[in-house]
């Protein structure tokens, strides 16, 4: 029987199938795009969407940093000036993308011990977004690039708001997903009030709690959602 911790990594892998192509180097891997809706939305009106998250396959190239099989990008609207609730956007500051999923495509998120969330930190400065690498795989980290260590990722794309899966997960996906595996999930965008305690690569598993235990990635305010957002059940 697989250990809970190993199986939890499958849940994390399902989260990071955000691109739908984790580990995929083969033809046929699809593209995806999910709309970002700002919350809370004004009552009785239909505001513009606040952006999108899109993804596609990204094969590794010999001699270059690995990609993890997929890449993704966010397009986030700037706040209107003067402020307009019908034209929501994201101002300068620190944020975190929270990706939630079950360990299998048909698994439940509610009451599932292996439901998980993976966190990717990013910041917006001067209206431009940068997705921050997992610090363990960032070039210059003491945990990558050395003898018997995993390869380092490509440098962060400053102001580009895009990354590949290896930049944010490193080797976490090595034994979790196969090419073209199905996945399910949703995401939330939160403010990140304590960036030193909420970094790319932090994750939460229902049965295990936060790793690391000091993570503050769920303390911020939810300012955007994508995937599923249900109203109050009657």
Q: Is residue 135 part of a domain?
A: yes
The one-character DSSP state at 217 is T
Q: Is residue 68 part of a domain?
A: yes
Helical ranges in 162-230 per DSSP H: 165-169
pLDDT, mean of residues 111-137: 93
Q: Is residue 114 part of a domain?
A: yes
> How confident is the model at residue 27, as a pLDDT?
37
Structural domains in the chain (count): 1
Q: Is residue 109 part of a domain?
A: yes
> How confident is the model at residue 116, as a pLDDT?
87
Cβ-Cβ contacts under 8 Å for 176 (sequence gap 6 or more): 9, 10, 12, 13, 14, 22, 23
pLDDT, mean of residues 195-222: 94
Q: Is residue 90 part of a domain?
A: yes
As to burial, measured by CB atoms within 10 angstroms (0-12 exposed, 13-18 middle, 19+ buried), residue 103 is buried
Lowest-confidence pick of 22-31, 72-81, 124-133: 22-31
Per-residue pLDDT of 3-17, as tens digits, reads: 555 555 556 665 665
Please report, rounded to a whole number, the percentage of residues in the chain having pLDDT higher than 90.
Answer: 46
Q: Is residue 58 part of a domain?
A: yes
* Paired tokens of 131: 């997705």
Q: Is residue 233 part of a domain?
A: no
What are the distances in angstroms from CA 131 to CA 3, 199, 225, 234? 32, 11, 17, 39
pTM: 0.87
Q: Which residue has the higher pLDDT, 205 or 108?
A: 205
Q: Is residue 232 part of a domain?
A: no
As to burial, measured by CB atoms within 10 angstroms (0-12 exposed, 13-18 middle, 19+ buried), residue 110 is exposed
Per-residue pLDDT of 90-112, as tens digits, reads: 999 999 999 888 777 777 888 88
Beta bridge partners, 94, equal: 123
Residue numbers of the domain that contains 149: 4-226
Tokens 């993308």 sit on residue: 97
> How confident is the model at residue 233, as a pLDDT?
61
């Amino acid at each position: 029987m697989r250990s809970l911790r190993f199986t939890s990594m499958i849940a994390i892998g399902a989260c990071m199938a955000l691109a739908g192509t984790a580990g995929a180097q083969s033809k046929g891997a699809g593209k995806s795009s999910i709309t970002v809706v700002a919350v809370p939305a004004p009552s009785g009106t239909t505001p513009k969407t606040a952006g999108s998250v899109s993804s596609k396959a990204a094969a590794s190239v010999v001699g270059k940093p690995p990609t993890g099989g997929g890449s993704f990008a966010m397009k986030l609207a700037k706040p209107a000036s003067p402020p307009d609730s019908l034209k929501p956007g994201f101002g300068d500051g620190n944020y975190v993308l929270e990706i939630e999923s079950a360990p299998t495509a048909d698994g439940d998120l509610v009451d599932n011990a292996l439901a998980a969330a993976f966190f990717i930190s990013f910041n917006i400065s001067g209206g431009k977004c940068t997705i921050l690498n997992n610090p363990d795989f960032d070039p210059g980290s003491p945990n990558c690039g050395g003898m018997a260590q995993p390869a380092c990722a490509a440098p962060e794309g400053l102001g580009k708001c895009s990354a590949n899966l290896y930049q944010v997960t490193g080797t976490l996906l090595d034994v979790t997903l196969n090419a073209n595996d199905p996945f399910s999930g949703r995401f939330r965008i939160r403010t990140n009030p304590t960036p030193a305690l909420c970094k790319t690569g932090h994750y939460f598993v229902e049965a295990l709690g936060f790793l690391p235990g000091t993570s503050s990635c769920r303390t911020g305010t939810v300012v955007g959602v994508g995937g599923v957002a249900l109203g109050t059940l009657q």
